[in-house]
Structure 1
Amino acid sequence: MKLELYQIDAFTDELFMGNPACVVPLKNWLPDEMLLKIARENAVAETAFFIDSGEEIQLRWFTPEIEMDLCGHATLATAHCLISLLQYPGNILTFQTKSGQLKVSFENDLYYLDFPSRMPVLSDLPEQISEALSIQPREVFKARDYVLVYDSEDDIRNIRINRAIFDLINLDPGGVIVTAKGEKSDFVSRFFTPQAAILEDPVTGSAHCSLIPFWAQRLGKKDLFALQLSERQGQLYCKDQNDRVIIAGKAKTYSAGFLWTE
């Protein structure tokens, strides 16, 4: 079976920056085992599969290991694929996903993702996570992911993870966010997933479902600019809307081609 395959860098306006995602349009759903094999073969953090029936767009996200309940950068990449490459009629997309209905709009080169808010609450830090960190956090919170708050942007840049210890933890489908107030942005972050093929996710839209309400409350503002400080880096334009968050970013197409499943 021949399928279209697009690779798109999300949350950036530069190639080889941001977070790469693969996007595969489908006519009908393939077996989950096949979707996972395709995601594993693509070897990026997330592969998005979608079916556009004309009435709605069904969307699913797979890492090389599991199906995810929510993924920001692969949703942005899918929107870019539909609007910029496949000539989708209109600039508002409605996706049906495991996290419910998600809307994406496109305006002035930015894709605006309307996602659920996940305000983190105070938590204790599991010993194995603490032992895996080169720098200890000042505060610990948790929603889907652990949110570890640090004193400075330098702390976030300098954190190192002991993977041998970190991979003993099972947080499916979550991960560990490290964050601090930014120097040239409102806040910065990095994101790590234990037992994943890719330890550090370059730019994590879904993590900002927790980061946006957290920093909006702490900084006393609704509109925020965020940087994710991975090697590839990413820029996110954020807005807190109480029970929802808006996560906006740009995208660049890296490649377009085909794959064969047999």
Structure 2
Amino acid sequence: MELEIYQVDAFAEEVFSGNPAAVIPLYEWLSDELMQHIAEENNLSETAFFVRKGEYFELRWFTPETEVDLCGHATLASAHVIYEFLDYTDQAVVFETKSGRLFVDRDNGRYSMDFPAWGVREIQVTERVSDALGVRPDLLFMGKRDMMAVFEDEQTVRDLKPDFAKVVQLDGVCMICTAPGLDYDFVSRTFVPEEGILEDPVTGSAHCTLVPYWAARLGKDSLIAYQASRRGGVLECANLGDRVKIAGQAVTYMKGTITL
């Protein structure tokens, strides 16, 4: 059996930046075990698989270790493959996922994703969190899925050197660290050691939590965010109440064939 595979740098204007994702179009679903093996072999933060079902696409995401319920950059990468390589011409791509129906549209090479907004509740800053991050956050929140530590300045976030053996013991899937930005509305970094990803380069799903928080704190609904990982990526965001818009560009790095 042969499968087409694409590697796409999402939230990037050129290769070697943004967040790389593998995208594999399917005619029918493979077994969960086989898809997990492929994701492990790819060894990228996410491998996306999709199957077309009439007017929409069923979409699933796998890290090297597990299937996840929501992934932003691999959704953007999947839409890029559909538009660029599958002769798709509709205004928007509709994905059916474990997080419900997601929409991605394209305008002049820029992809805009419509995702759910996730609120947060403030929790006490504990020594476990401070020890794991190496710095005590000013504020700490728990969201629907992720923990979010807020710092007062961008440089603190950029300089973080977490102890991943301790981060993996914290609650939540992602450990999001964020602060007001100097050149952007806010900056962030996201650590996901629980799923085999020490630091995710650009995390679309984390902005389901980040955008509502910063929109309320800054009093504005249109936001430009920067994820300050080594590769880095810019995200154009909008707060829509119970939804968020997350937009960016994507470039194809590789097209190939998997032989099984």
Q: Same fold (TM over 0.5)?
A: yes
Structure-2 residue corresponding to 1:150 = 151
Give the alignment's TM-score, normalised by structure 1: 0.96
Structure-2 residue corresponding to 1:255 = 254
Matches within 5 A, 1:59-98: 59-98=59-98
Runs of 4+ residues deviating >6 angstroms: none
Amino acid at match of 1:178: C
Amino acid at match of 2:168: D
Q: 2:195 is paired with a residue of what secondary structure?
A: coil
Give the alignment's TM-score, normalised by structure 2: 0.96
Q: Identify which range, 193-202 or 220-229, moves more after superposition.
A: 193-202
User: What do residues 116-145 of structure 1 show as CA deviations (whole Å, max 9, x unaligned)?
Assistant: 000111123454333211211000011111
Structure-2 residue corresponding to 1:221 = 220
User: What do residues 67-118 of structure 1 show as CA deviations (whole Å, max 9, x unaligned)?
Assistant: 1110000000000000022221223110000000000010122100000000
Distance in 2 between residues matched to 1:197 and 1:145, nearest whole Å: 16
Structure-2 residue corresponding to 1:30 = 30
Q: Aligned-pair RMSD on alpha carbons?
A: 1.2
Distance in 2 between residues matched to 1:180 and 1:167, nearest whole Å: 22
Q: 1:30 is paired with a residue of what secondary structure?
A: coil
Is the CA contact (8 Å cut-off) linking 1:168 and 1:194 kept in structure 2? Answer: no
Structure-2 residue corresponding to 1:2 = 2
Structure-1 residue corresponding to 2:124 = 124
User: What do residues 3-49 of structure 1 show as CA deviations (whole Å, max 9, x unaligned)?
Assistant: 00000000010100000000000111111011100000000000000
Identity of aligned residues (%): 49
User: What do residues 221-250 of structure 1 show as CA deviations (whole Å, max 9, x unaligned)?
Assistant: 010000000000000000000000000000
Q: 2:229 is paired with a residue of what secondary structure?
A: coil
Structure-2 residue corresponding to 1:195 = 194
Structure-2 residue corresponding to 1:162 = 163
Amino acid at match of 2:149: L
Q: 1:33 is paired with a residue of what secondary structure?
A: helix
Gaps of 5+ in 2: none
Structure-1 residue corresponding to 2:99 = 99
Is the CA contact (8 Å cut-off) linking 2:55 and 2:94 kept in structure 1? Answer: no
- Give yes or no for the alignment of 1:207 onto 2:184: no
Q: 1:199 is paired with a residue of what secondary structure?
A: strand
Distance in 1 between residues matched to 2:258 and 2:231, nearest whole Å: 26
Distance in 2 between residues matched to 1:12 and 1:139, nearest whole Å: 30
Q: Identify which range, 192-201 or 148-157, moves more after superposition.
A: 192-201
Distance in 1 between residues matched to 2:215 and 2:104, nearest whole Å: 21
Aligned residues: 259
Q: 2:197 is paired with a residue of what secondary structure?
A: coil
- Give yes or no for the alignment of 1:58 onto 2:58: yes
Is the CA contact (8 Å cut-off) linking 1:169 and 1:194 kept in structure 2? Answer: no
Distance in 2 between residues matched to 1:75 and 1:59, nearest whole Å: 8
Distance in 2 between residues matched to 1:179 and 1:168, nearest whole Å: 20
Structure-2 residue corresponding to 1:180 = 179
